[in-house]
Amino acid sequence: MAEDCIFCKILNGDFGTEFVYENEYVAAFNDINPKAPVHVLVVPKKHVSSLNELEDKALMGELLAAVKEVAKITGLKAYKTLINTGKEAGQEVFHLHLHVLGSR
């Protein structure tokens, strides 16, 4: 849990956010400003500020496995997966997240 991290607060249950999917390592919730009919964010439960700070290869696998679970749960057959790393690339929230974007 990092101070002033909006996604850590979501993971802590501060806003009562419903999770699309979760397990011991990761959680997924709807993007507040969806850019596709289905727009879900998959995040590690421990605070990692960006892909550049992610060392744990097992956690990398958990994140991608969760993307597949989210696609299944939300009924997506085709979808895009996006990670913005660094401010110049459009990263706004510095808690690693994988965007899952698609249409049902």
Q: Which residues have a catalytic role annotated?
A: 97
* Distance (Å, whole) CA 92 – CA 82: 13
Minimum distance of ligand AMP from residue 31's CB (angstroms)? 5
Site string for ligand AMP, 12-51 (x = CB under 6 A): -------------------xxx-------x----------
Under rule CB under 6 A, residue 93 binds ligand AMP: yes
Name which of 7 and 21 has its Cβ closer to Zn ion. 7
Instruction: Return the one option of Zn ion, ligand AMP, none that residue 8 interacts with (CB less than 5 to 8 A, by type).
Output: Zn ion
Query: 65, 77 in Cβ contact below 8 A?
Result: no
H or E element at residue 8:
helix 6-11
In three state form, how does the secondary structure of 38-78 look? EEEEEEECCCCCCHHHCCCHHHHHHHHHHHHHHHHHCCCCC
**# residues contacting ligand AMP (CB under 6 A):** 10
